[in-house]
Amino acid sequence: MATMLAAVLKDFNKLDLEQVPRPSPARPGEVLVRIKSCGFCQTDYKAIKGIRRNVAFPFIPGHEPSGVVAEVGPGMQHFKVGDEVICQPSGYCGFCAHCRVGNTHYCDHAFTTGGDGPPDVWPGAFAEYMLTKESCLFNKPAGLSFDAAALTEPLSGAWKGVVQYSDMKVGDSVVVIGVGSIGLLCLMVAKAAGAGRLVAIDSSAHARANARQLGATHVVDPGEGRTREAVYAILPSGPDLVVEAAGPIAAVRLMVELRRRGTRWNVFGITTHETFELDGGHTHFLEGRMDASFGTTPLAMQHAIRLMETGLVDTSRIISHRFPLADIAHAVEVMGSPDRNKVIVNP
């Protein structure tokens, strides 16, 4: 039996490198991808460290891959062995009511490769090979590196949240709270979409410096206090759009404080079940619009690929570390450090 090297999560804080059976596409539409690059998402890190508990062991993490088609199953029509591809982690049936209207991330029969969300979780891309479905593949543009292409899924989420859901317009004043890797992608999408003033809020000097380099017109340190006053000194009329890309509930509460009449706001980063309060009458008369965004869709993936292919967004600029799969333990350590940005694993 053919084997492959994989990082297998046996329990929280127990990620082991081992040889496991290499899968083979047997059902119609299945495809085996030789993984070249995979982004290390914060949700992967949370699963490894036990911060995220919805994990069934054993589990191979990694849900931001790019690679090469290695083997195809029966009925394969659109890809062949040797094709360079980008993999969408969220699989879908294409036939349920949600899929029929384009909300494939709501699919009643969804699966995910190496991620979380639906109960059907397939082995992920912290491995030399990954099994997925043909419908989850996109052609990688020839001029795009595998490392940059691996960030298509998080970039697609940023496009979906900022442009599709929150309806960002040219000239908008945009505030991004939290500029780690996903916040930076939101910032880069907002810049590419024509933000007039672009304010990044982060307690990390390292993150604020990155935001400056990637297009923020202003940065704010919330640790200095009076954050709302600082933002309104920059944007006297207040923000048109606020994107929370940080995660902690304090960031959501800050987003609520920053609203003025007509502000659109997107609960993007928080995934934990914590609460915040809204003044009903105040919210009514502000007449703002709250959105949220999770996951991705084929539409969002295609737009992300176009952003990279045309050079409007260069995802490689947020990569700070690269590790071979054999050095996955070191990659986990770096994920816990404050001065890293996007980490890439290269099986």
What is the reported pLDDT for 272?
82
What is the reported pLDDT for 75?
85
What is the reported pLDDT for 225?
87
What is the reported pLDDT for 308?
98
Per residue in 48-90, pLDDT (tens digit) is 999 988 899 999 999 999 999 999 999 888 999 999 999 999 9
Per residue in 147-178, pLDDT (tens digit) is 999 999 999 999 999 999 999 999 999 999 99
Q: pTM of whole model > 0.75?
A: yes
What is the reported pLDDT for 77?
86
In the chain, what is the straight-line distance between the N-terminal and C-terminal CA atoms, in Å? 20
Average pLDDT value over all residues in the chain:
96
What is the reported pLDDT for 1?
81
- Intervals of the chain under pLDDT 50: none
CB–CB of 48/9 below 8 Å?
A: yes
Which H, E and C letters describe the chain, residue by residue? CCEEEEEEEEECCEEEEEEEECCCCCCCCEEEEEEEEEEECHHHHHHHHCCCCCCCCCECCCCCEEEEEEEECCCCCCCCCCCEEEECCEECCCCCHHHHCCCHHHCCCCEEECCCCCCCEECCCCECEEEEEHHHEEECCCCCCHHHHCCHHHHHHHHHHHHHHCCCCCCCEEEEECCCHHHHHHHHHHHHCCCCEEEEECCCHHHHHHHHHCCCCEEECHHHCCHHHHHHHHCCCCCCEEEECCCCHHHHHHHHHCCCCCCEEEECCCCCCCCCCCCHHHHHHHCCEEEECCCCCHHHHHHHHHHHHCCCCCHHHHEEEEEEHHHHHHHHHHHCCCCCCEEEEEC
9, β-bridge pairs: 15, 59
What is the reported pLDDT for 303?
98
The tokens for 13 are: 């804080």
* Torsional sign, CA 193, 195, 201, 205: positive
Domains annotated for the chain, with CATH where assigned, are: 3-150+314-346 (3.90.180.10), 158-292 (3.40.50.720)
